[in-house]
Amino acid sequence: MLAVKPPQSPPSSSMFTLRGSLLTLAILTLISFTFLSLKSLRSSPQPQPSSNLVVNTVGKSNEKVEKEELSEVYHSPEIFRLNYEEMEKRFKVYVYPDGDPNTFYQTPRKLTGKYSSEGYFFQNIRESRFRTDDPDQADLFFIPISCHKMRGKGTSYENMTVIVKDYVESLMFKYPYWNRTLGADHFFVTCHDVGVRATEGMPFLVKNSIRVVCSPSYDVGFIPHKDVALPQVLQPFALPAGGNDLQNRTNLGFWAGHRNSKIRVILARVWENDTELDISNNRISRAIGPLVYQKRFYRNKYCICPGGSQVNSARITDSIHYGCIPVILSDYYDLPFNDILDWRKFSVVLRERDVYELKQKLKDISYSEFVWLHMNLVEVQKHFQWNTPPIKYDAFHMVMYELWLRRHVIRY
Ligand SMILES: *[C@@H]1O[C@H](CO)[C@@H](O)[C@H](O)[C@H]1NC(C)=O
Ligand SMILES: *[C@@H]1O[C@H](CO)[C@@H](O)[C@H](O)[C@H]1NC(C)=O
Ligand SMILES: *[C@@H]1O[C@H](CO)[C@@H](O)[C@H](O)[C@H]1NC(C)=O
Ligand SMILES: *[C@@H]1O[C@H](CO)[C@@H](O)[C@H](O)[C@H]1NC(C)=O
């Protein structure tokens, strides 16, 4: 886990922070066909709102190429842009057709609530250009079993494990694809943390397949280079996105919620009476007024996001949506898309033990740094939103991009 202060100066090159040498290899090939000219690389340590990195590609034949601005929130903007284009053109996924959609298979349970990321993925993959009906064209295979739907039908955790195992085994016996790689080109999607545990009956599903999960931490056996962190997004959002509203962000920091983890208990105990940090030692009751909780996100500079029963929390994407800088206070959380996005440029990542110095750490961030973080935050909002049908660079496409990076497997 990275424990970082907001950056005083940007890394001069963050190529090597990208994981996956395969990606780098693929990109180098691409670059050899393309001249890149990088303009206005930010060199000053002072945040400069106008200093977007402009990637300007000029084809060899001098044809006019679309110019697209990608900001510095990416580790490697030009690699991301080029590889994303490649993904749009070539990436294909085969969705196994087996299983009754009226039980746990194929279709989402719903597109609302805490686990809506799972529902959106199930829906979006069908609406997208990535789906193929020809398994021979497929880079990856999707195992369309929804743990959230099982929960909806009251299935116990033990039974879930059996159902997942039986389903995957049936695919393994019926089709030749699983055995070619022992599941390495197969993936499974769950936002409910019980769903992660439901894969445990099938060791190859844990060890070899790609598990796309909302609770990416070591205690559920998350393997960062193989698995994918799914952002937990509570959609639909109750209020519009924040941005261009700095004058209203007069309060330093905010948190209100259940004290269902050690870090939350400490957070509440240490800061509950503070006059600058707005820390409630309980949830804000709906009886106080409509959307009082959500409106607080508009008035604060920083929104504290401690882990709850799991490392993840929909509060992080709420903060992003409402334009409040998320303060990640959760050890061992492999943050969503952190191999693409540089979280230090739009959030504050602390260690749990920093909770005692929380106020000083936030006050140490200068106003201009805060403005810079906020501006970057508004830029990443699109990556943490689901749409139906999906649109370019949204949460669905970011997850697909992570899968695209993991498509290289050896088949026997
Ligand atoms: C679990 O499975 C058993 C056997 O199929 C069934 O009898 C039982 O009702 C199930 N329990 C739950 C909670 O799903
Ligand atoms: C895949 O391997 C398993 C275990 O070795 C075997 O039982 C199954 O029949 C194989 N599937 C196919 C389609 O050959
Ligand atoms: C700031 O807050 C006021 C009062 O709640 C609101 O009317 C106004 O629209 C807000 N300004 C911005 C830019 O959001
Ligand atoms: C906060 O105030 C309450 C009520 O006055 C008091 O009981 C509690 O001990 C205070 N907490 C801290 C950390 O000072």
- How far is Cα 358 from Cα 270, in angstroms, rounded to an integer? 10
- How far is Cα 244 from Cα 130, in angstroms, rounded to an integer? 35
The domain locations on the chain are 21-90, 93-232+389-405, 246-384
Strand pairing report for 54-58 and 35-39:
antiparallel
155 within ligand 1 shell (Cβ under 6 A): yes
CA of 269 to the centre of ligand 4 (A): 8
* 411 contact partners, CB below 8 Å, separation of at least 6: 180, 181, 185
CA of 87 to the centre of ligand 4 (A): 55
159 within ligand 1 shell (Cβ under 6 A): yes
Spell out the SS3 assignment of 241-301.
Answer: CCCCCHHHCCEEEEEECCCCCHHHHHHHHHHCCCCCEEEECCCCCHHHCCCHHHHHHHHEE
The predicted structure's pLDDT at residue 287: 76
- How far is Cα 160 from Cα 151, in angstroms, rounded to an integer? 9
The predicted structure's pLDDT at residue 79: 95
Residue-wise pLDDT for 169-224, tens only, equals 999 999 999 999 999 999 999 998 888 889 989 999 999 999 999 988 877 789 99
The predicted structure's pLDDT at residue 283: 80
The predicted structure's pLDDT at residue 32: 43
CA of 134 to the centre of ligand 2 (A): 21
The predicted structure's pLDDT at residue 344: 97
* 204 contact partners, CB below 8 Å, separation of at least 6: 182, 183
Q: How far is Cα of residue 371 from the mean position of the Cα atoms in its chain?
A: 23
- How far is Cα 412 from Cα 396, in angstroms, rounded to an integer? 30
Of ligand 3's atoms, which has the minimum distance to the CA of residue 295? Answer: 5
C-alpha pair distances (Å), 405 with each of 87, 262, 318: 9, 35, 27
* 239 contact partners, CB below 8 Å, separation of at least 6: 291, 294, 295, 298, 322
Q: Is the pTM of this model over 0.95?
A: no
Name every protein residue with a CB atom under 6 angstroms from any ligand 4 atom: 269, 272-273
The predicted structure's pLDDT at residue 195: 84
- How far is Cα 49 from Cα 368, in angstroms, rounded to an integer? 9
The predicted structure's pLDDT at residue 218: 76
166 within ligand 1 shell (Cβ under 6 A): no
Count of beta carbons in the 10 Å neighbourhood of residue 381: 17
Residue nearest to atom 2 of ligand 4 (CA): 273
- Cα(first)–Cα(last) distance of the chain, in Å? 35
179 within ligand 1 shell (Cβ under 6 A): no
Q: What is the DSSP letter of 5?
A: P
CB 312 within 8 A of CB 333: yes
Exposure class string for 269-287: b at 16+ Cβ within 10 A, else e:
ebbeeeeebbbbbeebeee
The predicted structure's pLDDT at residue 67: 54
Stretches where the chain sits below pLDDT 70 are: 1-69
Residue-wise pLDDT for 119-165, tens only, equals 999 999 999 999 999 999 999 999 999 999 999 999 998 999 999 99
The predicted structure's pLDDT at residue 68: 62
CA of 248 to the centre of ligand 3 (A): 6
* Per-residue tokens: 244: 């261009």
Reported CATH class of domain 246-384: alpha beta
Report percent pLDDT > 70 for the chain. Answer: 83
- Tell me the angle at which helices 116-127 and 395-405 cross, rounded to the nearest 10 degrees: 80
